[in-house]
Structure 1
């Protein structure tokens, strides 16, 4: 029985480069490399194995539903997307981001994703953003204002929708700005006072909505 050996990932190359750099440090080079390997290499291997298992299981489920995996193997666009997503997956411990990356790959596999350039852009957003960015983007798409509220600001509604952000206006204003600068939300700030009906309107841009659909479970 033959065994397929996984090709080295970008993470492997980064590890090798870091190891090579540490090796040239006088005196402490050897012990530094050993410490690096001890602390970093095992968790990276676990992350890669867990990621491959999660994606693999989902693809097997889709195969049972009729997906032809042999065609995916020949699809360079899909393989490129998997490589990009896998590199991002190894760099995070947040399960929400791992789920987003997995769901994105599945959407590409079943042909329910935007065109290739758009895919690359959206995958880069998933890699760059934190879990809280996505929670705020989801809020922007469907804010829930308290019943009977006549006036208020999006900041107050955000704190009501995501209680863990209550009182952290410096943080969530920066996260909102990140989304706005990248064209994912249509309102520049959160502090403008508006009517209750206005507070319940979506503030996600078309690109923001596409990203949310891209990372949603299929």
Structure 2
């Protein structure tokens, strides 16, 4: 639970930093995006990032995906997050929430369960709107300090 709260706090902090350095959408879009940060769970954000490129997402986490003839996104998701095993309805609800907000480029709520080729599994399943939202809640490049042992940190001195 603490990790999930941390992810939402990080998203909010990053959004504020992006506004402060002038790297944010217009004011109305900022309000909408901040509302999403408030209403989304950490799983919404995680699954949205996953949907940007599932195989690449898995590789970044050291999870090997080798479906010779393809598979379903749900199988890739569960390999990345074993704690989601047996929680198909939960995952479908998250995807439905994201699709309703215009973040998923597939009109089928069951997109996680559709058999896809290997290239289909790695396709981008998000929209340009989703990309703008994720950029809004990402740590600004100017303030990032990447450390292999701790991930992306915010340079406290640069942040002020």
TM-score, normalised relative to structure 2 = 0.74
Match of 2:124 among 184, 202, 216: 202
Residues 27-60 of structure 1: CA deviation (Å, up to 9, x unaligned) = xxxxxxxxxxxxxxxxxxxxxxxxxxxxxxxxxx
Cα contact 1:139–1:161 (8 A) shared by 2: no
Instruction: Give deviations 1:165-201, integer Å, cap 9, x for gaps.
Output: 1221111111111101111111232111111111111
From the two aligned structures, give the one with the greater strand fraction: 2
Q: CA separation in 2, counterparts of 1:162 and 1:204?
A: 19
Tell me the equivalent position of 1:137.
48
Cα distance in 1 between the residues matched to 2:67 and 2:86:
23
Q: Over alpha carbons, which structure has the higher Rg?
A: 1
**What is the RMSD computed on CA atoms of the aligned residues?**
1.5
2:31 to 120, 124, 127: 120
Q: How many residues align?
A: 126
Q: Give the Å deviation of 1:148.
A: 4.7
| TM-score under structure 1 length normalisation | 0.55
- The gaps in structure 1 that reach 5 residues or longer are 1-92
Q: Which has the higher contact order (CA 8 A, sep 6+)?
A: 2
CA distance in 2, matches of 1:190, 1:113: 31
